[in-house]
C-alpha cells in the first residue's frame, strides 16, 4: 500500500498572507498582494469573490487580491506548496495528508459541511455495491476527499487498491471517462457528480455522508504565526460571505451557476448536499478528520508510525475562528 501513499501529493506550504483587524503600516508595506483560491466545491468562495469583499477590506491598505481557481483539494495544496496561493480550499482529510507528509499547513476555518463525494457508475451499469468493484476500473483524483472516500469504502468492503485499477484523472476528466464508458466507476465530486446524476442518469451506488470530511480553508503555519491579524481579517470576510449565502440562497445559486457553467437543476442538487451552517473549526472537525486518518492508516495508506491524533491537533487551529458565529 506504500504505492498509494506515494500517489498522494507531497504537500507543502506557501508563503501566506492573512487578513485581520487593522493592518499596521509596516504590515501593509510587507504585504502587497493576497492570493486566494476559489472553487466550485466551495460555494462561499464564489460569493466572496463576486461581492469583492476582500478587495473592499484591503483597498485602504494598498493590498490587492489575486484569485486562483482550484479544481480540487490536490490542486489547492499543490498551489500552496508552490507558493502560488496563500489560502487554499480543501477537504479536511486532504489537509491531514499534507501534515502527515511533513507540510505544516494550518486549517483555520470551515467553509462547508458537504456530502460532496460518493461512488458513481453509469445508469446502465450492473455495479450496485462496493464489492462489485473487484477487478474494475475506477476514476479518481489523488489527494482529494473522493480518493480518501474510495480507499475507505474499499477497506470497509474487505478490498484494497490491488483489487481495483485506479485511473488517476482530475475530477472533470473522471466524469468524462465515466460518461464515455472508459471506466467502470468514478469517485465523484460535486457539482460534477450532480451533473452526472441530473444530465446523464448516473447512479450514486455508494453514499456515506459521515465519510465526507469537512471543507476547510488552509494557510501556511508560518504565515499564521507571523500575521495572525490578517488571517482573522480574511476569515471575517469569509464569514460575511457565508452569512450572505445563508440569507440569500438565490444569490449563492446564481454565483455557483455562473462559475460552474452548469444548469440550475444541477446546482440545486449540489446545494441540497451542502451545509453552510458552521464556520468555526474545532473538536467536531478534529473528530471527523481523525477518523479518516485512522481508517487510512489501518488500510495501509498512511504510515503505521504516524501519530494521527497529534497530527490533527497540529493541523487544526481554532484560535482564528473562535470568535465567529457558529
Helices marked H in the chain: 2-7, 25-30, 43-50, 53-58, 73-82, 92-100, 145-156, 171-180, 192-200, 221-226, 228-247, 249-260, 264-272, 283-298, 308-315
Residue 7 confidence (pLDDT) above 50 = no
Q: Kind of pairing, strands 64-69 and 33-38?
A: parallel
pTM score of the predicted model = 0.87
How far apart (Å, rounded) are the C-alpha atoms in residues 219 and 234? 11
3-state SS class at 157: coil
Task: Please give the average per-residue pLDDT across 253-282, as a whole number.
Answer: 96
Contact between residue 96 and residue 64 where contact means Cβ atoms under 8 Å apart? no
Asked whether residue 18 carries a pLDDT value surpassing 50, the answer given is no
Highest mean pLDDT among 11-25, 176-190, 223-237: 176-190
C-alpha 264/C-alpha 256 separation (Å) is 9
* Higher-pLDDT residue of 64, 99: 64
Q: What is the pLDDT of residues 93-107, one digit of tens each?
A: 999 998 898 888 999
User: Would you mind telling me the total number of residues written for the chain in this entry?
Assistant: 326
As beta bridge partners, residue 204 has 120
What's the pLDDT tens digit per position in 49-62? Answer: 999 999 999 999 99
What is the pLDDT at residue 326?
55
Reported as a pLDDT band with limits 50, 70 and 90, residue 155 is very high
Contact 143, 150 (CB under 8 A): no
Task: Read off the C-alpha cell for 256.
Answer: 455557483
Helix, strand, coil content of the chain in percent (nearest 5): 50, 15, 35
Q: Which pLDDT value is given to residue 93?
A: 96
Amino acid at each position: 500500500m506504500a504505492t498509494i501513499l506515494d500517489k498522494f501529493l507531497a504537500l507543502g506550504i506557501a508563503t501566506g498572507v492573512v487578513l485581520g483587524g487593522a493592518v499596521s503600516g509596516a504590515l501593509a508595506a510587507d504585504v502587497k498582494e493576497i492570493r486566494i483560491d476559489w472553487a466550485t466545491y466551495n460555494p462561499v468562495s464564489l460569493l466572496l469573490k463576486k461581492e469583492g469583499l476582500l478587495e473592499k477590506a484591503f483597498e485602504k491598505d494598498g493590498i490587492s487580491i489575486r484569485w486562483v481557481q482550484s479544481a480540487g483539494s490536490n490542486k489547492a495544496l499543490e498551489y500552496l506548496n508552490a507558493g502560488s496561493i496563500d489560502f487554499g480550499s480543501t477537504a479536511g482529510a486532504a489537509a491531514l495528508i499534507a501534515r502527515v507528509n511533513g507540510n505544516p499547513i494550518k486549517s483555520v476555518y470551515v467553509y462547508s459541511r458537504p456530502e460532496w463525494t460518493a461512488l458513481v457508475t453509469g445508469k446502465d451499469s450492473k455495479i450496485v455495491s462496493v464489492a462489485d468493484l473487484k477487478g474494475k476500473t475506477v476514476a479518481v483524483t489523488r489527494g482529494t476527499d473522493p480518493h480518501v472516500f474510495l480507499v475507505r469504502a474499499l477497506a470497509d468492503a474487505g478490498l484494497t487498491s490491488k483489487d481495483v485499477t485506479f485511473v488517476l484523472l482530475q475530477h472533470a476528466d473522471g466524469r468524462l471517462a465515466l460518461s464515455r464508458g472508459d471506466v467502470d466507476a468514478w469517485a465523484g465530486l460535486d457539482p460534477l457528480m450532480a451533473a452526472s446524476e441530473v444530465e446523464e442518469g448516473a447512479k450514486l451506488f455508494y453514499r456515506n455522508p459521515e465519510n465526507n470530511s469537512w471543507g476547510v480553508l488552509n494557510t501556511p503555519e508560518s504565515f499564521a504565526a507571523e500575521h495572525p491579524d490578517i488571517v482573522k481579517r480574511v476569515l471575517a470576510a469569509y464569514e460575511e460571505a457565508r452569512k450572505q449565502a445563508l440569507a440569500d440562497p438565490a444569490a449563492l445559486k446564481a454565483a455557483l451557476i455562473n462559475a460552474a457553467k452548469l444548469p440550475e437543476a444541477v446546482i440545486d442538487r449540489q446545494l441540497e448536499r451542502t451545509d453552510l451552517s458552521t464556520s468555526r473549526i474545532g473538536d467536531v472537525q478534529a473528530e471527523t478528520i481523525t477518523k479518516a486518518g485512522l481508517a487510512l492508516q489501518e488500510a495501509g495508506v498512511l504510515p503505521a508510525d504516524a501519530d494521527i491524533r497529534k497530527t490533527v491537533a497540529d493541523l487544526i487551529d481554532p484560535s482564528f475562528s473562535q470568535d465567529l458565529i457558529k
